[in-house]
Structure 1
Amino acid sequence: MGPCNGTLSPQPSTPQFSLGVSVLLALLMVLLALVTVLGNVLVILAFILDRNLRHRSNYFFLNLAISDFAVGAFCIPLYIPYALTGIWHFGRGICKLWLLMDYLMCSASVFNIVIISYDRFLSVTKAVSYRAQQGMMSSPVVKMVAIWILAFLLYSPAVLLWEYMTGCSMVEEGQCYAEFFNNWYFLLCASTLEFFVPLISVTYFNVSIFYNIQRRQRRGSIQYCESPGSSSVSWRFCFLLRRGPSLSELEDSASSSMRTKKESLVTESSSPSRVNSVTPENDFSVCARARSKLHHDKKIAKSLAVIVCVFAICWAPYTLLMIIRGACQGKCVHPILYQITFWLLWINSSLNPFLYPLCHDKFRMAFMKILCPKKFAILRSNSC
């Protein structure tokens, strides 16, 4: 496919650096690639070696780690010489493959973040139905496959077929960027699906979880269970208030508890040797579990808040700048500013292994088992 004569779009300009700056940047880029690869390899190994991690929701972390690993192992290394010299040295075939992989992996990473947030949203706001489906392994597998299909359909057809649809190539020799690089109509539509919709979705999930937790805290603020010596009615109310009951449930529970208490008093009077009612202790355990669930959900909410903030910080500058740059044909955006926002996307892939799995105790223990087996053995023996 030949070039478009007289209609070449301005190439993505690459800033020129001195030798010292180039060496420093090269070291930082290589370091970023290593951190991205090693961090995501650790997540994958932990999932393979530790059976305790093979929980339905953790499969999405595995999917995220695979996409981010490909970014560090393939996308970043090939781009380093291009970023420093401004010349693509690997030919058009490898350029197409690099573009395909870069757009695919970054899009898959975003969609995995959305599905992780959605899964956490369900586990907090719809806990009963979520637990009832724990054994259905087909559900996460279908979602994982769907993520890769959607990520492929978003950019890959345009990367592969754009020049054939236009009849010529707009990319100069020695350069490597997508044919639609300066088509802001396409960039706006694709960015809406890749960034704006996921950001709104993740924010909605996060706000819903916080609202759910606040509502449960308000309902539980009426403390009917101050001490294990309280009546069984009080303990039953405590449990129901924490899970958000209806008024009829409260009334039924109260009447049932009163009947139980009267029956136990009759039994106690006829059999003095019997132990007093154990209902308060049982209800105390129920309340303790409710408090534990609420504490666990708070940790999930905090981790999702981190997801929203980091995702927005890493993706918003590039997305907005890419649309602006396409609209003005690259004439209104400084090359260094564009490069900084471009690298922020890949920094997100290096941060993901630390932001998500490390928020969970099971992943931390699995990492310790791999990296510090002696310390893990000591902790395990102490716990036993």
Structure 2
Amino acid sequence: MILLSLTLSVVNCFVVIGNLLVFYVILTKKSLQTSTNHLVLSLTISDLLLGVLILPFAIIQEHSSKWIFGQVGCRLWLSVDVFLSTASIYNLLAISFDRYMAVRQPIKYPIISSTKVVRLMTFLVWFCSLLLAAVLFLHETLNAHDSVPLKECQPTTLPSMYIIFSAMASFIVPAFVMIILNVRIFQTVLHTSRTMTVKSKNGSLRVHRRKEPIVPVKKLERYETRLSQEDEGVGSPSKEVIDPVPVMAVVEKHKNSVDAPAIRSFLTHTVVFGVLEAKKTNIINHHYTLPVPHGIVVAASFSVGFPFTPIYVLQAYSICTVAAGCIPNSLFTTAFWLGYSNSAVNPILYAAFSRDFRIALKRLFFQKPKF
């Protein structure tokens, strides 16, 4: 039991520390304050609050093998758990929709990426999550029997109708929509990758089928260094703007009506799949770093969050309950905490696969202070 408590405590530390780092980096680095990263910031807040307000009580219950905070404490804990867990899923859904619009609808993306719309999306994420949690709290309060001793506080003891409803609203439906959005993104990227060939010649990137300029890697690195210096307040802004990747036919056609984040997002998804073809003939220069699509974050969230959903749904109408021994308690605990561990996975993925986040974190830990 002590080993289990220590393991869960380590998971909680990863959740809190990892999301604190992402929170700090986004707030302090202007280059990361894009429309998508505002949604990432909202996701980070939900995961961070989950690590502060929910996981410590779950660890105490696992260690003590009972709930020691009373009936009211149980209702509050379960309601806040539903609130923050749902907000985390809905934030991922909002980010998926943002990426979908950037890739599939580049003309309309400036509207979606506007400050007003991003704030509205964030508000809807938190409001809908709060509404779902409020329904649970009110139902449990109106049907509470505070005189009855409470041995445990688990979502498996919730009413059957609410279990079905919350599973559909908090995971199944959002997951289904995210799958559709990311499949459509994949189809667009795959179609675009078939119309372009990325080759390397004399340390440069070239896009065929159009007479586009070639950007030498060294020149691109100087451009990225200048942007980093400007972000840190070093040097003066340059009047010359060098596009880091030759613009493809679709983006070139609409470049006057699509803002820079939309172009970068479109190029990110397009070039990544171009790399898959290019690796066969080794035509990509290894010095050039390409970002990893948002789909990896979504896939990781599904892989760690999915096991709990069928177990949770089976509790409805006593189909196959944990209390009756149909599902081993160890299996339930593993699936339960796998869902929570998703809040620790996201910061790791950002640090591992996002070049901008890696650079920002390196500067945070290794850059010498200026006097």
TM (norm. structure 1) is 0.69
8 Å CA contact 2:79–2:136 kept in 1: the answer is no
1:95-124 deviation line (CA, Å, top 9, x unaligned): 232222211111100111111111111111
Q: Please list every run of 5 or more consecutive structure 1 residues that lacks an aligned counterpart in the other structure.
A: 1-21, 227-233, 240-281, 378-384
3-state SS of paired residue (1:152): helix
Distance 1:130 1:91, change over 3 A: same
Residue among 285, 288, 296 paired with 2:268: 296
Q: Which amino acid aligns with 2:27?
A: I
Q: 2: distance between equivalents of 1:293 and 1:144?
A: 20
2:100 equivalent to 1:121: yes
Aligned twin of 2:308: 318
Aligned twin of 1:278: none
Question: Which is helix-richer, 1 or 2?
Answer: 1
3-state SS of paired residue (1:100): helix
Residue among 95, 99, 102 paired with 2:74: 95
Q: Tell me which moved more, 209-218 or 155-164.
A: 155-164
Aligned twin of 2:137: 159
Aligned twin of 2:32: 53
Q: 1: distance between equivalents of 2:137 and 2:72?
A: 12
Q: 2: distance between equivalents of 1:176 and 1:184?
A: 16
* Alignment: residue pair count: 300
Q: 2: distance between equivalents of 1:140 and 1:211?
A: 25
Q: Indicate the structure (1 or 2) with the bigger Cα radius of gyration.
A: 1
2:16 equivalent to 1:37: yes
Q: 2: distance between equivalents of 1:285 and 1:206?
A: 25
Q: Which amino acid aligns with 2:172?
A: F
The offset of 1:170, in angstroms, is 10
Distance 1:122 1:182, change over 3 A: same
TM (norm. structure 2) is 0.71
Bigger relative contact order, structure 1 or 2 (CA pairs below 8 A, ≥6 apart): 1
Distance 1:46 1:119, change over 3 A: same
Q: Which amino acid aligns with 1:176?
A: C
8 Å CA contact 1:47–1:62 kept in 2: the answer is yes
The offset of 1:79, in angstroms, is 1.5
Q: Which amino acid aligns with 1:340?
A: T
Root mean square deviation of aligned Cα: 3.3
Residue among 327, 332, 354 paired with 2:317: 327
2:121 equivalent to 1:143: yes
1:190-220 deviation line (CA, Å, top 9, x unaligned): 2111111111111111111111011112333
The offset of 1:298, in angstroms, is 4.2
Q: Please list every run of 5 or more consecutive structure 2 residues that lacks an aligned counterpart in the other structure.
A: 202-208, 214-242, 253-262, 274-291
1:223-270 deviation line (CA, Å, top 9, x unaligned): 9xx9xxxxxxx636x89xxxxxxxxxxxxxxxxxxxxxxxxxxxxxxx
8 Å CA contact 2:89–2:170 kept in 1: the answer is yes
The offset of 1:186, in angstroms, is 2.4
8 Å CA contact 1:36–1:68 kept in 2: the answer is yes
